[in-house]
Amino acid sequence: MSATSYKADLRDIKFVLFEQMKAHEQLADVPRYKDFDRDMYEAVLDMARDLSENVLSPVNKVGDREGVKLDGEGNITTPDCFKGAYKALAESGLIGASLAQEHGGQGLPHVVDIATHEMTSGAAMAFNMYPGLTRAAANLLTWPDAPAWIQALAVPKMLGGEWGGTMCLTEAGAGTSVGDNRAAAVPTADDGVYHLTGEKVFISGADQDLVSNILHMVLARTPGAPPGTKGLSMFIVPKFHFDAAGTLGARNDAKVVGIEHKMGINGSATCTLALGATGTCVGYLYGGEHQGMEIMFRMMNEARIGVGIQALGLASAAYQNALAYAKDRVQGSAVEHFRETDPPRVTINKHPDVRRNLMLMKCQVDAMRSLIYSVANRFDKTEHGDESEKEYLLGLVELMTPIVKAYCSDVSFSVCSTAVQVFGGYGYIGEYPVEQHLRDSKIMAIYEGTNGIQAMDMLGRKMRKGQGMLFMSWLDEANMELERARAIGELAEEVAGLERARDQLGQTAMHLGMVGAQGNLRGAMLQATPFLELFGTVVLGLHSLWQARVAHEALRDGATGDDGKFYRGKIANARFYMKNVIPRATAIAKAIQMGDESCLEDGLFD
Ligand SMILES: Cc1cc2nc3c(=O)[nH]c(=O)nc-3n(C[C@H](O)[C@H](O)[C@H](O)COP(=O)(O)OP(=O)(O)OC[C@H]3O[C@@H](n4cnc5c(N)ncnc54)[C@H](O)[C@@H]3O)c2cc1C
């Protein structure tokens, strides 16, 4: 591995998809995926690996160093090398891999799509923001209530790499509190056509030169709309006007007036977008007035899972880099030779402390991959068409979303930090990619709803939904996996450790439910972030156990050589996780139940 390269963990990606989840077998019965088979999925994955390692990875550092430039007309220039990379990505069909073929997509299962995104994000996260948001905007436009003429025209162009897309919620006074949005939209004599004014901030890709037109998905308030999120409507605001044939006209007055200088993702333009500041900004209403938040949530839910995929991609890239470096870097001697005058020098992967770091990274990355792919797999299973099954599956996706977005992004940041540590001083300098991974990874805890807000959403909404119904469904599935693992005698200790943590999680959930029911909402919400950490730690433990069970079965079936080593690695993951990480979950549970509220004392931070 060179100093700047990305290495996809295709062995593990294929293990999760085809050995652990058996996605190809499960999806063979789903009408939408009947024309695909394992060979086709593998071909897509191999192609995504080649593209990520050979085309996208080389633009990552350049994008970070060059950043983007804004001229006086609101035009942004991205690094030169981004253009060829964007063209190659569009030609590969990966922008719309899982969107239906009728919209210009490939119609692939979400779980395969997500695996490709793991690789493209891991190779070049900032670059991948442009196609990522474009895809999410295009997907939003495929819903039946989107304006039909825009849908038919724009979606294939977006998926084909001709047009881009953005999501525009944030304003200077309305970050977390989206309901404080002030951008205004006034109806015109033309049905569904509005004139917008206002200013959006922090908009990713609000201008760029990789595409010929951009469609902004904008939240704004119509005259007389009720306050808060209930009064928001969704508008499609083009950069250039276009007619029904797709011919571009004059520039719309939606222009970038500033860009942010950031600690990471420097190749991704983060923009202030002025609407109607010097002329007329035309927007097309999507859905009805005041339905904006409900519509935007479709995009946000997808984007939150997208952040989890970014988290996995970066964490895997950081781990692979740290592993390659540790195998190569010679420093010091083995601890048992410390007293000798000239002991043989060893590579740092021989030092126990470095091995502990590598192991922690490995078991967390592998478990995150399992979790995130399993969430995508549930989406695919909803295509079976049974409504009650669909509701059940979507409920579990809903419950896991804060863990995928928030817990995994926190874990990813910590994995990237550990990778820097494994490199020592060389991790802190620009020669190797891990310092960029660490800087790039911080944003994941902030955008798409900060992790603190995700934690409150988990505790305040998802845990309470249907009187705890989602949590109970998850618990049933967790218990089934524990039973399956118990059947493998060698996993008895791991099962017992995880069961203790599961019980603590349940008790803590009940405890916090009581705190809230007694009217102490501040006391309950104070524990939202630790609770999410507790829940996330147990969830990843369960995925680690699932993988160890599958590995045991493969070894029992006679796997040897590199395969045998791979499966033994999975078993070691689970053992390490249950003995070193799961005890932290138990400690968090105890701390939450102690109910300390000292930081809420009057006057402390006022
Ligand atoms: C690089 C980058 C790219 C972005 N891309 C986009 C984009 O494409 N589109 C878009 O619309 N936005 C985008 N954003 C905006 C991003 O989503 C917001 O920054 C984020 O929602 C937080 O809003 P804020 O920055 O105003 O922080 P604030 O809302 O001011 O929050 C500050 C802190 O207070 C906490 N907090 C706030 N309210 C509460 C509460 N009620 N209870 C508990 N804690 C609270 C938060 O968790 C946070 O820790 C981007 C931001 C960045 C930095």
pLDDT at 4 over 70: no
CA 272–ligand 1 middle distance (angstroms): 14
Which tens digits make up the pLDDT trace of 38-54? 999 999 999 999 999 99
Distance 228 CA to ligand 1 centre (A): 17
pLDDT grade for 497, boundaries at 50, 70 and 90: very high
Token pair 């006034």 in the structure block, residue: 186
* Residue closest to 349 by CA, chosen among 326, 333, 331, 330: 326
Using alpha carbons, select from 133, 177, 136, 173 the residue that is nearest to residue 453. Answer: 177
Q: Report which protein residue has its CA nearest ligand 1's atom 29.
A: 176
* Residue with CA nearest ligand 1 atom 24: 175
Mean pLDDT in residue range 78-90: 97
Instruction: Dig out the tokens for 475 from the structure.
Output: 């618990």
CA distance 320 to 119: 12
Beta bridge partners of 185: 196
Ligand 1 centre to CA of 177 (Å) is 8
DSSP state letter for 226 = P
* Average pLDDT over all residues of the chain: 96
**For the residues 159-184, what does the mean pLDDT come to?**
97
What atom in ligand 1 is closest to the CA of residue 448? 17
* Close Cβ partners of 295 (under 8 Å, ≥ 6 residues apart): 140, 143, 145, 234, 286, 287
- Nearest-CA residue for atom 51 of ligand 1: 202
User: Which residues make beta-bridge pairs with 217?
Assistant: 167, 236
User: Best substitution site from 447, 458, 600 to test ligand 1's pocket, by max atoms within 8 Å of Cβ?
Assistant: 447
Mean pLDDT of 266-276: 98
Q: Are 246 and 153 in contact (CB under 8 A)?
A: yes
Q: Is the pLDDT of residue 1 over 70?
A: no
Residue list, ligand 1 pocket, CB within 6 Å: 167-170, 175-176, 202-204, 262, 265, 270, 443, 446-447, 450, 452-453
Q: Sorting pLDDT into bands at 50, 70 and 90, what band is 389? A: confident
Distance from Cα 98 to the centre of ligand 1, integer Å: 29
Amino acid present at 297? F
- Reduced to 3 states (helix: H, G, I; strand: E, B; else coil), residue 185 is strand
Tokens at 181, concatenated: 């949005």
Specify the DSSP element, H or E, that contains 282. strand 282-286
Q: How far is the CA of 199 from the centre of ligand 1 (A)?
A: 16
Q: What is the pLDDT of residue 382?
A: 83
CB 586 within 8 A of CB 579: no
- Tokens found for residue 281: 């900004």
Burial of 544 (C-beta count, 10 Å sphere; 0-12/13-18/19+):
buried
Residue entry with tokens 């705190």: 515
What is this structure's pTM? 0.97
Q: Which of 423, 446, 441, 420 is nearest to 122 (CA)?
A: 441
- Structure tokens that stand for 359 in this block: 């192991």
**pLDDT band at residue 339 using 50, 70 and 90 as cut-offs:** confident
Cα torsion through 489, 493, 494, 495, rounded to 10: 70
Average pLDDT, integer, range 328-357: 94
Q: Which atom of ligand 1 has the smallest separation from the CA of 446?
A: 20
Instruction: Identify the band that residue 30 occupies on the pLDDT scale cut at 50, 70 and 90.
Output: confident
448 is catalytic: yes
Mutate to test the pocket of ligand 1, among 134, 171, 176 (most ligand atoms within 8 A of CB): 176
Q: For residue 212, which of 100, 121, 86, 126 has the smallest C-alpha distance?
A: 86
Atom of ligand 1 nearest to the CA of 168: 11
Residues in the chain: 606
List the residue whose alpha carbon is closest to atom 12 of ligand 1.
170
Which band of pLDDT confidence, cut at 50, 70 and 90, is reported for residue 386? confident
d(Cα 274, Cα 278) in Å, to the nearest integer? Answer: 9
Question: Tokens standing for 534?
Answer: 């507790």
Residue with tokens 């239906």: 100
Pocket test for ligand 1, best of 127, 168, 201, 202 (most atoms within 8 A of CB): 202
Buried b (16+ CB within 10 A) or exposed e, 438-448: bbbbbbbbebb
Query: How many Cβ atoms sit within 10 Å of the Cβ of residue 273?
Result: 28
- Looking from the CA of residue 169, the nearest atom of ligand 1 is 11
- Render pLDDT for 189-232 as a digit per residue (tens, 0 to 9): 999 999 999 999 999 999 999 999 999 999 999 999 999 999 99
Pair 274, 199: CB distance under 8 Å: yes
- pLDDT the model gives residue 221: 98
How far does the centroid of ligand 1 lie from the alpha carbon of residue 557, in Å? Answer: 50
CB-neighbour burial class of residue 214 (10 A; exposed 0-12, middle 13-18, buried 19+): buried
Q: Which residues of 471-496 are buried (b: 16+ CB within 10 A; e: fewer)?
A: bebbeeebeebbebbbebeebeebbe
From atom 1 of ligand 1, which residue's Cα is the shortest distance away?
A: 270
- List Cβ neighbours of 8 (8 Å cut-off, separation of 6 or more): 48, 49, 52, 53, 118, 119, 122, 123, 316
Please tell me the distance between residue 452's alpha carbon and the centre of ligand 1 in angstroms.
Answer: 10
Residue 345's H or E segment, with its range, is: strand 345-347
CA 270 to ligand 1 center in whole angstroms: 13
Strand residue runs (E) in 296-344:
330-333
Which residues are within 8 A (CB) of 43 and not within 5 positions of it... i.e. 6 or more apart? none
Q: Which atom of ligand 1 is nearest to the CA of 449?
A: 21
Q: Which atom of ligand 1 is nearest to the CA of 451?
A: 47
The angle subtended at Cα 409 by Cα 406 and Cα 413, nearest 5°, is: 140
The answer to whether 317 touches 433, Cβ cutoff 8 Å, is yes
In the chain, % helix, strand, coil (3-state, to 5) comes to: 60, 10, 25
Does the pLDDT of residue 101 top 80, yes or no?
yes
The angle at the Cα of 217, spanning 131 to 257, to the nearest 5 degrees, equals: 85
> Percent of the chain having pLDDT more than 90?
94
* Residue 580: pLDDT band with limits 50, 70, 90: very high
Residue with token string 């990966």: 94
Q: Report d(CA 337, CA 85) in Å as an integer.
A: 50
Span 586-597, pLDDT tens digits: 999 999 999 999
Selecting among 53, 435, 448, 494, the annotated active-site residue is 448
Nearest atom in ligand 1 to 166's CA: 8
For residue 143, what is the DSSP state?
S
**What are the pLDDT digits (tens) for 511-533?**
999 999 999 999 999 999 999 99
450 burial via Cβ count (<10 Å: 0-12, 13-18, 19+): middle
Nearest CA to ligand 1 atom 4: 202
